[in-house]
Amino acid sequence: MALSWRFIEAAPDAVVISDREGTIVEVNAQVERLYGYSRGELLGSKVELLVPERSRDVHVMHRGAFVSEASFRPMGAGMPLYGRRKDGSEFPVEVKLNPVETDVGLRVVAAVKDLSERRRLEAAARAADELMRQAVEIQEDAFAVFDRHGLLLLHNGAYRALMPESLKGPLTGRSIAEIVECTTAASAFESEEARSLFRARYLEALRTESGTDPLFHDGRVFRVTRRCTQNSELVVTIADRTEDERGVEALRRASAAKTEFLSAMSHELRTPLHAILGFASLLMRDRRTPLADRQREMVQHILKGCDHLMHLVDDVLDLSQIESGRMMLSTERVDLPVVLSEVVTALRPDALRAGVSLHLAPCDDDLPTVFADRSRIVQVLKHFGSNAIKYGRPGGRATFGAERADEGLVRLFVEDDGVGIAEEWHPQIFQPFQRAGQEMGPIEGIGIGLALSQRLASLMDGRVGFRSAAGEGATFWLELRALQEGLLVR
């Protein structure tokens, strides 16, 4: 085999050699693999055998024209070409023709490249482009991409809708400067100086690689987000946040109104409660006309109920002050064992009536002090202890203690062996007016103590937490930063 034919045989493309009449005189191995014919089937056949039947007549005509003016060129320039396999299937091809004069006459060398994979990749790319176009178009937010020179490459309909009428025609290819110029020219400003200042600042912001800025335009609020790609294209997203801002403002006003209502209600309830407590106390201490035993029992119920209601009013007032930002703290060095003993002493009468025993766990000698509001620490621990008593079992116990925790914190805890809290209630346990499924139960309360405790802990740069399971008791804790050598541990 001649060296030149070895090169042709090893070529990656199919090579078909035909004479002036279009008869195949030689093929390489790639032709056999590509078309499915054997060399014996191809030699002596017309090249139209490799062309789809619908194109054969036209191919004969073009072949004759090529032979009359033979020159190196691609076949069917600008037209889609297809080859036909032995099994009748078709596939896209690219064919380059080269006429060669030989001792036996003109020979036409055709190099045939299978374009199936290329066309598949092109189709996939077109599908991906169309998908991207649709994905961009259906975005509610305005979306635009600028090249490194500031020219608009791509945008969606929402971006087009933001443009003024002066920007007629296609936007693609326009510069950021032109778009901003037309947009600001169509907007209302107090003065030309204000317009120029806004235009300059906005253009400078758009040139920044990334960032998010508010934009106020025609009474609406937009959020403009800028991101720069690895190729320095600028991606701009403009989201209309007017309704969101109005919703936030409405919620803010509603929250303020609720806080004011709770505060006013708490103050208004205090006056009659103080009167009831005062007169009930006078009845209990009246020596001229002492109460009968049954009357004293009834007045004690009045005092107990008023005391409970007064605590609820105080909690509601504290919660409203925290939410309005008016809660003031009085910080000092706090000796935690003393505080724990004080809380246990204060809660012991309620515990005796409920049949729950209170205990103090021994504290380490080197337990650090904390710098916080002592009265608020007591308030939080009383909430934890009251719950341990209310949800405890007759004959049960609640243990109060303090210990070191991680991250330079001191943990004060209240552990009980009561009814516990089912896992499904854990996410809501520190939300106001949540009682972990006990809303209709006989235990008094409105579910505000734990929510207030969490907010008080946050004000003191601390945190609260708990662990519990249904029927296995609960442990609630308050963690505060330790005070060591005059400095808070950070």
What confidence tens digit (pLDDT) does each residue in 307-364 have?
A: 777 777 777 666 766 766 677 788 889 999 999 999 999 999 889 989 999 999 998 8
Q: How far apart are CA 47 and CA 22, in angstroms?
A: 6
Predicted local confidence at residue 1, as pLDDT: 45
Predicted local confidence at residue 232, as pLDDT: 78
Give me the number of domains the chain comprises: 4
**How far lies 106's CA from each of 31, 99, 338, 470, in Å?**
21, 7, 114, 97
Q: What's the one-letter identity of residue 195?
A: R
Which tokens go with 248? 């936030």
- How far from the centroid of its chain's Cα atoms is residue 216's Cα? 25
Label residue 47 by pLDDT band (50, 70, 90): very high
Find the mean pLDDT for residues 115-140: 86
Same domain, 110 and 128: no
Same domain, 133 and 109: no
The dihedral over CA atoms of 125, 130, 132, 137, expressed in degrees to the nearest 10, equals 170
Which of 114, 141, 163 delimits the end of a domain?
A: 114
Q: What is the pLDDT of residues 87-114, one digit of tens each?
A: 999 999 999 888 888 888 888 989 999 9
- CA-wise closest residue to 6 among 35, 26, 32, 28: 28
Which tokens go with 423? 């896992």
**How far lies 437's CA from each of 31, 297, 387, 440, 472, in Å?**
80, 32, 14, 8, 16
Kindly report the CATH number assigned to the domain that includes residue 76.
3.30.450.20
Same domain, 279 and 236: no
Structural domain of residue 178, as residue ranges? 121-240
Same domain, 192 and 289: no
Which of 114, 130, 157 delimits the end of a domain?
A: 114
Same domain, 204 and 272: no
CB neighbour class for 365 (10 Å; exposed up to 12, middle 13-18, buried from 19):
exposed
Predicted local confidence at residue 364, as pLDDT: 86
List phi, psi (to 5°) of 85: -80, 175
Predicted local confidence at residue 179, as pLDDT: 82
Same domain, 257 and 359: no
Q: How far apart are CA 100 and CA 72, in angstroms?
A: 9
Label residue 237 by pLDDT band (50, 70, 90): confident
Find the mean pLDDT for residues 43-51: 93
Higher pLDDT, 394 or 200: 394
Q: How far apart are CA 225 and CA 116, in angstroms?
A: 42
CB 99 within 8 A of CB 106: yes
Kindly report the CATH number assigned to the domain that includes residue 429.
3.30.565.10
Same domain, 99 and 78: yes
CA angle 50–51–56, rounded 5-degree value: 130
Which of 114, 130, 159 delimits the end of a domain?
A: 114
Q: Which long-range contacts (CB under 8 A, 24 or more apart) does 343-351 make?
A: 343/378, 343/381, 343/382, 343/385, 343/400, 344/385, 344/400, 346/382, 347/382, 347/385, 347/386, 347/389, 350/386, 350/389, 351/389, 351/398
Q: How far apart are CA 96 and CA 15, in angstroms?
A: 10
Same domain, 382 and 307: no
Same domain, 131 and 68: no
Q: At what angle do helices 242-285 and 293-324 cross, to 10 degrees?
A: 150
Q: Which residues contact 134 (CB under 8 A, 6 or more apart)?
A: none
Kindly report the CATH number assigned to the domain that includes residue 283.
1.10.287.130
Same domain, 39 and 126: no
Lowest mean pLDDT across 55-59, 126-130, 170-174, 194-198: 194-198
Residue 45 has pLDDT above 90, yes or no: yes
Predicted local confidence at residue 486, as pLDDT: 47
Which tokens go with 459? 């004000």
The percent of residues above 90 in pLDDT, for the chain, comes to: 26
Same domain, 10 and 98: yes
Q: Would the CA dihedral through 319, 325, 326, 327 be positive or negative? A: positive
Predicted local confidence at residue 428, as pLDDT: 84
Q: How far apart are CA 355 and CA 394, in angstroms?
A: 5
Query: Where are any strands of DSSP class E within 203-268?
Result: 211-217, 220-228, 234-240
Same domain, 65 and 11: yes
The reported pTM is: 0.47
